[in-house]
Amino acid sequence: MATSAISELPNSRTEPDGSAIVRVLSYNVRSMRDDEDALARVIRACAPDLVFLQEAPRFFRWRKHAARLAARSELVILSGGATAAGPMLLCSLRATVEHTEDVLLPLTPGRHRRGLATAVVRLGGARLGLVSCHLSLYADERHAQAGLLLDRVAALGTPYAIVAGDLNERPGGRAWTRLTTRLRDGHAVAPWGSAPTWPAPAPDRRIDAILATPGVDFLSCGVPTDLDPSDLHKATDHLPVLAVVRVPSS
């Protein structure tokens, strides 16, 4: 797909055969320590159906902060936050929610707690599992977490699933490679926009990704290039990853 303008991407819709065209956004929001209005503007500009957040608020009044972001982004909270050690899922009213679960991963003493925000939703005729993740800064722990994440995807019991988040390593790393033995990397199969996601003011590495099980058709995936640069720099230290996928009816 040659375009890199959000407005030229396919609109969210349900096809006559029941399959769903879905906009998916993954975004590390740095505990909402930056400009919340700019953050909400970035999310709204991407017009997502599903949002996979990392570093959502986890401490004092975290639910209030998360609810405010969801409202300003014209979305609702699905799962996650402090109860998942940071990952969170938001969705539009288009999604019908079947199940949500927050999962804490094993804690290595002296390291940061990690978790997964998971859900099962329906969009049109498509039934879809969702996992938002933020993997460890340490390679050994990150590789183990990748395996636990794949186990969790299988446990969702859905015909299709999307995994998105901050993987804390570049493509080709051990954890990334482990994940892509069973999941497809959206930007690798349907590149769109730009690739680097961190640091926001001068990105030089791709450490955030949207992945999906076979059968989910990526129409495009990458960092939008037509968002307001000022908002991007004020919102958080990562850039957002936006994908458009087609999910078969199930």
pLDDT at position 21: 98
pLDDT at position 60: 86
> Rounded distance, CA 86 to CA 55, Å?
5
pLDDT at position 3: 53
Written as tens digits, the pLDDT of the chain (250 aa) is 445 689 899 999 999 999 999 999 999 999 999 999 999 999 999 999 999 999 999 988 999 999 999 999 999 999 999 999 999 999 999 999 999 999 999 999 999 999 999 999 999 999 999 999 999 999 999 999 999 999 999 999 999 999 999 999 999 999 999 999 999 999 999 999 999 999 999 999 999 999 999 999 999 999 999 999 999 999 999 999 999 999 999 9
Taking alpha carbons only, the member of 13, 20, 38 closest to residue 200 is: 38
Taking alpha carbons only, the member of 14, 48, 12 closest to residue 125 is: 14
Q: What is the pTM of this model?
A: 0.97
Domains of the chain: residue spans and CATH: 16-247 (3.60.10.10)
pLDDT at position 4: 66
* Rounded CA Rg of the chain: 16
> Rounded distance, CA 158 to CA 129, Å?
6
pLDDT at position 2: 45
| Contacts of residue 172, Cβ cutoff 8 Å, sequence gap at least 6 | none
Residue 89, token pair as written in the block? 């899922």
**Helix, strand, or coil here: 160?**
strand
Burial 45-56 (b: 16+ CB within 10 A, else e): bbbbbbbbbbbb
CB 2 within 8 A of CB 202: no
Residues found in the chain: 250
**Axis-axis angle for helices 36-46, 62-72 (nearest 10):** 50
pLDDT at position 5: 87
